[in-house]
Amino acid sequence: MSLPLEGRSAIVTGAGRGLGRAEALELARLGAAVVVNDFGQPGRDGSGDASTGPAEEVADEIRLAGGRAVAHTGDVADHRQAQGLVELAVDTFGQLDILVNNAGILRDRMVFSMSEEEWDSVIRVHLKGHFNTTHFASAHWRARSKAAGGPVYGRIVNTSSEAFLAGSAGQPNYAAAKGGIVGLTTSTALALAKYGVTANVICPRARTRMTSDVFAGFAEPDGDGLDPLAPEHVAPLVGYLASPAAGRINGQLLVVHGGMVAVVERPRVAAKFDTKQDAFTYDELEALLTPHYADRPAGETFAAAEVLGLKRGQA
């Protein structure tokens, strides 16, 4: 019996640790050859010297298990290094079939205290990093489709966050980047569908180096039980979205953690008001909108947190 990703090749960014590592191992387990990308900086804020260690170690782990893997230690936020990553996959495995974007850093600060550099660095790694790899992968698939005269196989799985859905007061840069990734994904899904490529985005909740303080109050299970916040709960969804079975899933946002997957709808209109005049006046808007929001707690934003059963700041 063949594996669902047998004969396919994949890139996973930020795959040296945490979620990316679990996703790379899962894709390999399902039969894919994997390019393991990780810049290798030790600090979750992107600090420290780059290292080949994390990417090489995961690639070795895949090879020891009988799979195929190669390490790439470039910075996906650098346009040319992202190009080299896609070229490495094509040169090594003949073509690229799957792109999983996961690389990211944190520079947490309240919006009134955040520096320009703290804003720029997070946007650069998360949002520009997702764009860079997507740009070169999509060009590869478009060229292949034109050469083949029809659709080809391509899968993109991007990584957003519940910080985008529910808000995260101390992460304006991160929340903005993750919201941007959702927009990038839906645009990409529309642009590439005719070439046979799907693009979806996940909001994973997992205990990793990036979320160590967020989940500090959530105890890990005793004994041999799997941590409900383990990255291994997220990886199977990535493997599924990368597979032929998910060919009809495109432009979708899914939240995943601890044995739960939630499909998130696109925003819908909750209420609609029409002016009784040629144009709204201040007084008319006050009469319509103030009562509409009167029963809501002060400071409440979107209802996504309540829908998903989240607590503020838990994303």
HSE (side-chain half, CA atoms, 13 Å) at 282: 0
Residue 304 lies in a domain: no
Between 34-38, 131-135, 292-296, the lowest mean confidence (pLDDT) is in 292-296
Say yes or no to pLDDT of 232 above 70.
Answer: yes
Average pLDDT of the segment spanning 233-252: 96
Asked whether residue 219 carries a pLDDT value surpassing 60, the answer given is: no
Q: Is 272 a catalytic residue?
A: no
The model's confidence at residue 10, banded by pLDDT at 50, 70 and 90, is very high
Is residue 226's pLDDT more than 70? no
Whether 285 maps to a domain, the answer reads no
Q: What is the mean pLDDT of the chain?
A: 88
Percent of the chain with pLDDT over 70: 83
pLDDT band at residue 53 under the 50/70/90 scheme: confident
Q: In what side-by-side order are the strands of the sheet with 197-204?
A: 69-72, 33-37, 9-12, 98-100, 154-159, 197-204, 253-257, 260-264
Residue 207 has pLDDT above 80, yes or no: no
Most distant CA pair in the chain, distance: 72
Task: Tell me what pLDDT residue 191 has.
Answer: 98
Answer yes or no: is pLDDT of 210 > 70: no
In a domain, 290, yes or no: no
Q: Is residue 163 part of a domain?
A: yes
Nearest one of 82, 81, 99, 80 to 32, comparing CA atoms: 99
Reported as half-sphere exposure (CB side, CA atoms, 13 A), residue 1 has a value of 2
* DSSP state for residue 211 in the 8-state scheme: G
More confident residue, 210 or 242: 242
- For residue 154, what pLDDT band results from cuts at 50, 70 and 90? very high
In the predicted model, what is the mean pLDDT of residues 226-241? 85
Least confidently predicted of 81-90, 91-100, 169-178: 169-178
Instruction: Identify the DSSP state of 157.
Output: E
Q: Cα–Cα distance between 248 and 27 in angstroms, integer?
A: 19
Least confidently predicted of 60-64, 122-126, 162-166: 162-166
The CA distance from 157 to 182, in Å, is 11
CB 314 within 8 A of CB 214: yes
Q: What local confidence, expressed as pLDDT, does residue 258 receive? A: 84
* Residue in 121, 160, 174, 195 annotated catalytic: 174
Q: With a cut of 70, say whether residue 149 has pLDDT above it.
A: yes
Averaged over 269-290, what is the pLDDT?
Answer: 95
Residue 187's contacts (CB-CB under 8 Å, 6 or more residues apart) are none
Look at residue 2 and tell me if it is in a domain: no
Rounded to 5 degrees, what angle do the CA atoms 174, 175, 179 make?
A: 115
In a domain, 41, yes or no: yes
pLDDT for the residue numbered 126: 96
Q: Are strands 260-264 and 253-257 parallel, antiparallel or unpaired?
A: antiparallel
The residue annotated as part of the active site, out of 121, 128, 168, 178, is 178
Containing structural domain, residue 116? 9-264
Mean pLDDT along residues 155-175: 91
The predicted pLDDT at position 165 comes to 84
User: What confidence category does residue 46 fall into, taking pLDDT thresholds of 50, 70 and 90?
Assistant: low
Catalytic member of 121, 145, 161, 243: 161
pLDDT band at 312 (very low <50, low <70, confident <90, very high): very low
- How many domains, in total, are found in the chain? 1
* Of residues 62, 60, 7, 65, the one with CA closest to residue 31: 7
- Residue 182 resides in a domain: yes
pLDDT of residue 205: 86
Q: How far apart are CA 134 and CA 123, in angstroms?
A: 16
Average pLDDT over residues 64-92: 97
Banded model confidence at residue 133, pLDDT cuts 50, 70, 90: very high
**248/47: higher pLDDT:** 248
Question: What pLDDT score was predicted for residue 168?
Answer: 83
Instruction: Assign residue 229 the CATH number of its domain.
Output: 3.40.50.720
Mean pLDDT, residues 52-64 taken together:
94
Residues 10 and 157: their CA atoms lie apart, in Å, by 11
